[in-house]
Chains A and B, each alone.
Chain A
Amino acid sequence: MSMKRGAAAEIALGIGVAALGVFILFETRMIRVAPIYSKVGPGVIPTLVGIILLALGILFVWQSWRGKRTVADGIDAPGSLLDTPGTGDQTADWKALGAIGVGLLLQIVLFESAGFIPTAAILFFCVAFGFGSRRYLRDAIIAILLATVAYVGFVHGLGLPLPAGILEGVL
């Protein structure tokens, strides 16, 4: 069987899992343990978790390498009646992912300087765009309305602080 489209990505994922295991083992050695706790100290379980993740990662790489379908191990068989999503070999709509990612990243960067309302509205607009909506005016109006209502409700209704940003003193 020739290597499937998804196999390379799966191998990369398995390597990632194994790498996480190695990282945990490495970091665990950095934990300083007081002698009285030496037997069952804070490092025991992390070491175990690290070893297990390393082993699982290697096993996953090996299974993907052999091209064995790691999916559908019996119990999920009924799911195949339907479109059970996610097997790695489908194509992704990168434009959609990008739009949502940009919305989230802009929010992180601008949250404290620009404030909640503008960043939440931008996020709303980006996600709607990512999901294929092209009714820009409608989306923008709903975005601003929703962000404003959420802000007023949280800050004045529930007393949970949110950054006002550029609208400082307005709302």
Chain B
Amino acid sequence: MGTLGALMDGFATAFTMANLGWCVLGVTLGTAIGILPGIGPALTIALLLPLTAHLDPTGAFIMFAGLYYGAMYGSSTTSILLNTPGETGSIITAVEGHLMARQGRGAAALATAAIGSFVAGTIGTVLLTVLAPLVVKVALKFGPADYFALMVVAFTTVSGLLGSSRLRGIISLMLGVAVGLVGTDTLTGQARFTLGIPNLLDGIDITLVAVGLFAVGEAFYVASRPDLRSAEIIPIKGSLLMTREEWARSWKPWLRGSALGFPFGALPAGGTEIPTFLSYFLEKKLTKRPEEFGKGAIEGVAGPEAANNAAVAGVLVPLLTLGLPTSATAAILLAAFQQYGLQPGPLLFTSNSTLVWGLIASLYLGNFMLLVLNLPLVGLWVRLLAIPAPLLYAGILVFATLGVYSLNQSVFDLVLLFLVGAVGYLMRRFDFPVAPCIIGMILGPLAEEQFRRALMITQGNPSVFVLSPISATLLAIAVLIIVAPWLLKLRQRRLASS
């Protein structure tokens, strides 16, 4: 069956009443949490996991994916009107977008963000549709050694590119890997790091860690910094219909932003933030009106907003085809697959093709719904920003503890949540990125399994990692990623001294 035929079947799945309903629910919820500071897609999906355990997986994933897309749409609204990004992918939008709002051009900023998100989201989804079957073909040839090498590449890029310093990123990643070790070893049934506590035999739930870091740690952090609390909402001014000039200045940044965002999401390079920064600087360089940058240039909103939506589509490529998460939200989605007993990877496309293609088709629909939700209806959403921060965070924490307790009906999990929250606070305060920790926690056990399976096949001979051409290439890339920045620094130093 060709890709087009599969996609058509996907639309048939997506257009059923139930799945349309999940899609609407997902994009609506996604927009809301995108707009609300302090609650993001990773946290929301983690909190929804205990509730969706008994649902049909296709519907659940359609909702989750809509939520992930929606969060990227919604977060731009907060960036523009409040100067606080709703999500990390919209940090840079706050720069020019908020300045535009201050000048009374908030409506135009919102419009270029929403339409740009739509354009980029659609381009990204088309690329996902076309590329996923191709990647699957390659991935079918992967053995355990190759998967292990791929995960090593993911480890190096995730820790190196997320956050402000490589050392901090790697420490965060390894903390996640260490937490992932706790529990019964899958291959031998041996208990590890359980300290004799029976509750730890099943390991520590990734939902608990995500909620601890993103809800509890975040609440501690924001509360401890009164300077982060006060913010003034700027009312929407101007027309949501962009002028001819605004269209002319927006469409190229949209396309360039999409071109930057998709590969950054798809390659295990991590997240939606980096392509938005790159897009901003690219537009600043290419603009004919450099004097407007720093005063509210529409290009500085159009490019990054396209980039973050394209990146989300990109993230889904390695997640669905290889089972490889490249962002915190993707890691939670992988946990969701595991909850249903599904293993994302090349085989998912044959064993669960209805789910995969229904999900991809629903992304096209979701994007369209999001455009409607975020452009004509943006005025309704802005009212969410009127919720006072104390009540918002109080509500988040009540639902965080409720969700974590529901995992196992155990107070012990609440104790763990408190501890993880305390660690999360320290990480935030000392500038450790938390996303690598979540990714390490889910990727660590998978990497260990592939590592040991590869060695079992060869009876302990490690040469398999070098003799398989795929594995050897991937490991070489990983080494390069680690070494390259140091080499560049050395060269710079030598150039500077000569």
Footprint of B on A, CB under 8 Å?
A: 6, 9-10, 13, 17, 20, 24, 27-28, 31-34, 37, 39-42, 44-46, 49, 52-53, 56-57, 59-60, 63, 70-76, 78-79, 81-88, 90, 92-94, 96-97, 99-101, 103-105, 107-108, 111-112, 116, 120, 123-125, 127-133, 139, 142-143, 146-147, 150, 154, 158, 160-162
Contact = CB atoms under 8 A, between A and B. Distances in A.
Contacts of A17: 171, 175
B295 to A, nearest CB: 14
Nearest to B98: A82
Contact of A42 (B185, B221, B226): B185
Nearest to B181: A46
A119 to B, nearest CB: 8
B390 A73 contact: no
A87 B432 CA distance: 9
B166 A73 contact: yes
Contacts of A124: 394-395, 397-398
Nearest to B406: A160
Interface of B: 50-51, 91-92, 94-95, 161, 163-168, 170-171, 174-175, 177-178, 181, 185, 187-188, 190, 192-193, 216, 219-226, 228-229, 274, 277, 280-281, 388-391, 393-395, 397-399, 401-402, 405-406, 409, 411, 414-415, 417-418, 421, 425-426, 428-431, 444, 448, 451-452, 455-456, 459-460, 485
A142 B341 CA distance: 39
Contacts of B228: 83, 85
A19 to B, nearest CB: 12
A87 B428 CA distance: 9
A133 B167 contact: no
Contact of A49 (B177, B187, B219, B452): B177
Given A108-B415, A131-B389, A92 B225 contact: yes
A97 B221 CA distance: 8
B188 A41 contact: yes
B79 to A, nearest CB: 10
A133 B431 contact: no
A96 B390 contact: no
A13 B167 CA distance: 13
Contacts of B391: 128, 133, 139, 142
13 contacts: A28-B192, A33-B188, A40-B452, A42-B190, A56-B167, A70-B167, A75-B164, A79-B91, A79-B277, A86-B430, A86-B431, A108-B415, A158-B51
Given A49-B174, A56-B167, A72-B164, A150 B399 contact: yes
Contact of A34 (B168, B188, B280, B390): B188
Given A59-B167, A86-B429, A128 B459 contact: no
Given A49-B174, A111-B405, A131 B390 contact: yes
A127 B167 contact: no
Nearest to B460: A39
Nearest to B430: A88
Contacts of A103: 397
A90 B175 CA distance: 24
Given A88-B431, A93-B223, A42 B188 contact: yes
B274 A150 contact: no
A59 B281 CA distance: 33
Contact of B394 (A6, A42, A143): A143
A34 to B, nearest CB: 7
B171 A85 contact: no
B390 A127 contact: yes
B451 A45 contact: yes
B74 to A, nearest CB: 19
Contacts of B92: 78, 81
Contacts of A9: 430
B287 to A, nearest CB: 16
B174 A52 contact: yes
Contacts of A37: 187-188
B54 to A, nearest CB: 9
Highest count of chain A CB atoms <10 Å: which of B170, B185, B402, B417 = B402
Contacts of B401: 104, 107, 120, 123
Contacts of B430: 6, 9-10, 13, 86-88
A76 B174 contact: no
